[in-house]
Amino acid sequence: MDGEKIAIIGVPALAVLFLVIGFIANPPAETQLEPAPPQDFDKELAAAYVQAGCWQCHAVSTLQTELTEAFGEQAAGVRPMGPDLAGVGARFNADWHAAHFWKPDDVFAGSQMPAQRQLFEPGQPKLNEQGRKVVEFLRTLKSRSDLNKPWPTARVVAPAGDAERGRLLFQRECAGCHGADAGGEGPASKFISTPRKPPALAKGEFVYLPAGERPIDSIYTVITNGVPGSAMPSFASRLSEQQRADLAAWVAKVGGK
Ligand code: HEC
Ligand code: HEC
């Protein structure tokens, strides 16, 4: 083998080796997981969930035994066409659930889940007692399943995005909370106040723009990771990198950042 060939084979092989070593020494933040907390089981709260019939479409993989023992086999999920609800307690806050039960499509575009109006005071966008218990039950579901991955937390750099495509995507994915004009008054916003209302992005209401970071990267990071404990969910698994970059480009533009 002459020198040239060795160089051709050797350089990519070395690059791969360094990548592998780099990965082992410094895995991406997503893989550095806190251990999942043990799963609580409150029978009274679980009863509200079972009475609401959520088991017709959902399972909670971390509570299969408890639900079966307390309420029979069906309660553990008969035809789980909807996602495993294990871990949702760490992903959505109580306000998000209320908005979701009222009109799922407002917070989750294209949702297949029927509205759960039986969980509200008649005709009013205010949860009734059962509704509050179902939400409380969901908030206890903090232990992850294998399916239900925790959200990323690392800061990320936005790839180049197309603001016009972002504008269209915003109408579908974000307008329910932030408003079609990004003025903060989407139909779901009436449910959301803790810890903060959906900000009026078009009026420049940004609080997550750390000094020393490009605003577009900060916006992209919020879209990717969500804001833990708030109603702003992570869009990491729902939208591609390119879609999040397009959104960040439009949000930065409309917000004057
Ligand atoms: C007819 C089937 C059906 C019923 C009944 C139903 N859901 Fe859903 N649910 C779905 C589907 C499908 C999804 C997936 C996303 C979508 O289409 O909205 C979903 C999504 C969810 C999510 C978001 C989960 C995630 O990981 O993104 C939560 C939370 C949820 N449902 C809770 C409930 C609760 C609580 C009840 C009972 C009050 C309920 N659902 C009743 C079908 C259903
Ligand atoms: C279910 C409602 C909801 C949806 C859907 C939603 N957001 Fe949010 N968003 C919020 C709330 C509430 C906050 C404020 C979080 C906090 O600070 O407590 C927020 C915060 C933000 C911020 C941070 C602003 C700041 O203060 O720096 C950005 C950026 C953002 N959202 C963009 C988006 C984009 C883009 C989408 C669509 C992909 C989206 N949001 C979808 C509710 C939502």
Alpha-carbon torsion angle 48, 49, 50, 56, nearest 10 = 150
Determine the pLDDT at residue 29. 47
Q: At which residue do the structure tokens 């871990």 appear?
A: 87
* Ligand nearest to the backbone CA of 150: 1
CA of 162 to the centre of ligand 1 (A): 32
Q: Which atom of ligand 2 approaches the CA of 170 most closely? A: 37
Whether the CB of 79 sits within 6 Å of ligand 1 = no
Residue-wise over 107-135: b if at least 16 C-beta within 10 A, else e?
bbeeeebeebeebbeeeebebeebbbbbb
Write the pLDDT tens digit of every residue in 3-18: 455 444 454 454 444 4
Determine the pLDDT at residue 27. 43
Determine the pLDDT at residue 24. 44
Q: At which residue do the structure tokens 């397009």 appear?
A: 246
Whether the CB of 188 sits within 6 Å of ligand 2 = yes
Q: Which atom of ligand 1 approaches the CA of 104 most closely? A: 18
CA distances from 106 to 46, 130, 131, 174, 180 (A): 26, 22, 18, 8, 11
Q: Which residues contact 199 (CB under 8 A, 6 or more apart)?
A: 178, 184, 205, 206, 207
CA distances from 204 to 172, 200, 219 (A): 21, 7, 12
Q: Which residue from 151, 156, 152, 153 is spatially nearest to 217, judged by alpha carbons? A: 156
Q: Is the pLDDT of residue 174 over 90?
A: yes
CA of 113 to the centre of ligand 1 (A): 5
Mutational pocket test of ligand 1: of 113, 117, 148, the residue with most ligand atoms within 8 Å of the beta carbon: 113
Q: Is the pLDDT of residue 30 over 50?
A: no
Q: Which atom of ligand 2 approaches the CA of 247 most closely? A: 35
* Ligand nearest to the backbone CA of 229: 2
- Return the structure tokens found at 87: 């871990």
The mean pLDDT value for 210-221 works out to 97
Determine the pLDDT at residue 36. 75
Which residue, by CA, sits nearest to atom 30 of ligand 1? 85
Whether the CB of 48 sits within 6 Å of ligand 1 = no
Write the pLDDT tens digit of every residue in 42-66: 999 999 999 999 999 999 999 999 9
CA distance linking residue 175 with residue 188, whole number of Å: 9
Write the pLDDT tens digit of every residue in 75-125: 999 888 899 999 999 899 999 999 999 999 999 999 999 999 999 999 999
The mean pLDDT value for 63-70 works out to 96
Q: Which residues contact 161 (CB under 8 A, 6 or more apart)?
A: 216, 242, 244, 245, 246, 247, 248, 249, 250
